[in-house]
Amino acid sequence: MSRRPDEEEFFAREEVSRRAREEHRREREAREAGRTHCPKDGEALEAVARGSATMERCPRCGGVWLDAGELERLNGEGGAEMVRDALRYLLPDPTPER
C-alpha cells in the first residue's frame, strides 16, 4: 500500500520537526552542562580558574568565554587588577616575536 503525496509531505515535515527538536534538546543539555567546545572552531575548551570565576579558553584560537556574572565577580574580588591578571594569563602576548 503506497502513501498519497500529502501523506509523504506530512511525514517529511514531521521528520524535520523531530530532528529540530532533538538538536534543540542536545544544545540545551550542552549549555546546562557547561561549555565543552569552542563555538568558533569546535576545539575542546580548557577550564581556567581565577579567583572564584572559572573561564573557558580555546587552546586553538585563544578565545575566552565567561559565564554570566564572572567578569563582575572578578572585578569585585580584585578590581581591575584581577581582571587584567586573568586576561594576561588567558590571552596570548600580542607582541610579535622578532
Give the residue extent of every domain in the chain: 5-90
Taking 70 as the threshold, does the pLDDT of residue 74 lie above it? yes
Chain segment 18-46, per-residue pLDDT in tens = 998 888 887 767 665 666 788 888 888 88
Sheet harboring 53-57: ordered strands across?
A: 46-50, 53-57, 64-65
Cα 50 to Cα 57: distance, rounded to the nearest angstrom: 12
Taking 80 as the threshold, does the pLDDT of residue 3 lie above it? no
CA distances from 1 to 4, 5 (A): 10, 13
Chain segment 38-72, per-residue pLDDT in tens = 888 888 888 887 777 778 888 888 888 887 777 77
Other CB atoms within 10 Å distance of the CB of residue 10: 12
pTM for the predicted model, two decimal places: 0.47
Cell of 35: 561549555
